Amino acid sequence: MIKIDDNTRMIITDDAGNEKEVAILLTFESKDLGKQYVIFCDPDDDQQVYVCAYDDEGNLMDVEDEKELEYAQEVWEAFQDDSEEED
């Protein structure tokens, strides 16, 4: 189970204009890729996590590049391993 802190929430808007509150699990930057990323989940279904890139204005962008997805997965797995060691 993923620990979700009430202070780590954001509102996302889908293409249809519907707003959804999600829980931010991790933010990180890749200097090599020149992008910032956020990993988040629906607090009602913390089994599925999502990753998006974001710009300085907070606009989210889908991550579709396989290299970026692999990088994000590696960062997420390392974060989870570190979190488990702290418990």
Return d(Cα 24, Cα 37) in angstroms, integer.
Answer: 11
Angle value at C-alpha 50, between 32 and 46, nearest 5 degrees: 135
Whether 37 contacts 29, CB under 8 Å: yes
Domain ranges of the chain: 9-86
Residue pLDDT, tens place only, 10-27: 888 888 998 889 999 999
- Give the per-residue pLDDT at 86: 64
Give the tens place of pLDDT for each residue, 27-86. 999 998 899 999 999 888 878 899 999 999 888 999 999 999 999 999 999 998 877 666
pTM across the whole model: 0.82
